């Protein structure tokens, strides 16, 4: 059985993951409108990944005897700027999510819930990758400049 405090923390993270999914979907729509179909595709896949994180957390919570909630998800922005600015925002957002995951892992530790700590470590490791990927895209976009942006767009569109 999972504690009320940990159940609330996981449900808060579920809401945050769903907000992230909506953010990336909004970014995807924006990039498609701006003519960057590859970046739009990459962001749409990132949206699906965040939604999957929420579902994994909900399933885990249910398995532990908790109640998973789909709470109110706040409105996300709709305008984002240049492709570089979009991916800088992606990187900054991933850093915030990493901090939230760390805090959730700390709650599990404080509640002496080793199963949840172990479960959350998978997300901690994944966040390291997501931050690194976003930082890498930002660096490549900085180097590509105006002329190389369409090449980068094409490469990002190849994401599996």
pLDDT at site 45: 97
Please give the torsion angle defined by the CA atoms of residues 96, 53, 19 and 80, in that order, rounded to the nearest 10 degrees: 70
Domains of the chain, by residue range, sit at 4-157
Residues of the chain falling short of pLDDT 50? none
84: Cα within 13 Å, side-chain hemisphere: 10
Q: What is the pLDDT of residues 73-94, one digit of tens each?
A: 899 999 999 999 999 999 999 9
C-alpha span between 54 and 50 (Å, rounded)? 6
Would the pTM count as exceeding 0.75?
yes
pLDDT at site 147: 82
C-alpha span between 50 and 52 (Å, rounded)? 5
pLDDT at site 72: 85
Q: What is the pLDDT of residues 141-152, one digit of tens each?
A: 999 988 899 999
Class of domain 4-157: mainly alpha
CA dihedral for 128, 68, 58, 40, sign (positive or negative): negative
Return all residues near 106 (Cβ < 8 A) that are at least 6 apart: none
pLDDT at site 160: 77
């Amino acid at each position: 059985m999972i504690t009320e405090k940990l159940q609330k923390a996981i449900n808060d993270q579920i809401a945050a993951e769903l907000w992230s999914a909506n953010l990336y979907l909004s970014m995807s729509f924006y990039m498609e409108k701006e003519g960057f179909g590859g970046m739009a595709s990459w962001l749409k896949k990132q949206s699906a990944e965040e939604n999957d994180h929420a579902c994994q957390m909900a399933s885990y919570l249910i398995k532990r005897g908790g109640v998973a909630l789909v709470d109110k998800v706040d409105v996300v922005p709709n305008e984002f700027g240049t492709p570089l600015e979009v991916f800088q925002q992606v990187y900054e957002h991933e850093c915030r999510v990493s901090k939230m995951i760390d805090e959730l892992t700390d709650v599990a530790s404080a509640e002496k819930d080793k199963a949840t700590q172990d479960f959350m470590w998978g997300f901690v490791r994944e966040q390291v990758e997501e931050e690194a990927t976003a930082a890498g895209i930002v660096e490549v976009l900085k180097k590509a400049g105006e002329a190389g942006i369409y090449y980068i767009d094409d490469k990002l569109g190849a994401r599996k």
